[in-house]
Amino acid sequence: MTRLTYPLRTPRLLLRPVTADDIDDVHAWQRRPDVVRWMRGAQPRTREQSRASVAAMAGEDALRVEGDCLTLAAVAGARVVGAVELVWRSAADRTAELGYVFHPDHGGRGLATEAASGLLDWGFGEFGLHRVVARCHAGNEPSARLATRLGMRREAWHVRSYRFRGEWADQLVFAVLADEWRARPEG
């Protein structure tokens, strides 16, 4: 296991573990229906529900064993504007799954792309991943566009493959390999 040295820095962001002090910023997006709309089973959260969520994310500070989740707060200035995560899916296959959520008020400036890129740089570099996937509801166009901007290819469109808000839903699967990540054009 490679230990992550915090914070990770990108040109405009600091990526660091979530802390209890992040409650106000995290609750600012978790209470929004337009943000939780695409999350399985999620409803806008109360402040206490966000506090529990922040406590859970604060414990996701390293990939120690297969199945672990690493969640990092994306900090712009003094505000947590979003979070990115890697879930270690297979040690043998050196694979992980990428996730992300950002406050819409900070959208349109490339911050989510920058944060996810920073985490992928670490995952493919220091951590030694071979492959990273990202999944989203087929109707979640912003998430699909972000995966595409990251250089991930759409590998699958799973028709009515999972239950979402009581209905069968389609899921898109994106992926990128380590050699593809390293060969992508910068900028």
Question: Which pTM value belongs to this model?
Answer: 0.94
User: Phi, psi (5° rounding) for residue 28?
Assistant: -60, -30
Q: Cis before residue 104, ω within 30 degrees of 0? A: no
The whole-number pLDDT of residue 165 equals 87
The full set of domains in the chain, from first to last, is: 8-183 (3.40.630.30)
The whole-number pLDDT of residue 1 equals 54
The whole-number pLDDT of residue 141 equals 95
pLDDT (tens digit, 0 to 9) for every residue of the chain, 187 residues total?
A: 566 888 999 999 999 999 999 999 999 999 999 998 888 667 899 999 999 999 999 999 999 999 999 999 999 999 999 999 999 999 999 999 999 999 999 999 999 999 999 999 999 999 999 999 999 999 999 999 999 999 999 999 999 999 998 899 999 999 999 999 999 987 5
The whole-number pLDDT of residue 185 equals 81
- Report which of 29, 143, 13 is spatially closest to residue 74, judged by C-alpha positions: 13
The whole-angstrom separation of Cα 29 and Cα 101 is 9
The whole-number pLDDT of residue 39 equals 81
Element (H, E) at 167: strand 167-177
The whole-angstrom separation of Cα 20 and Cα 39 is 22
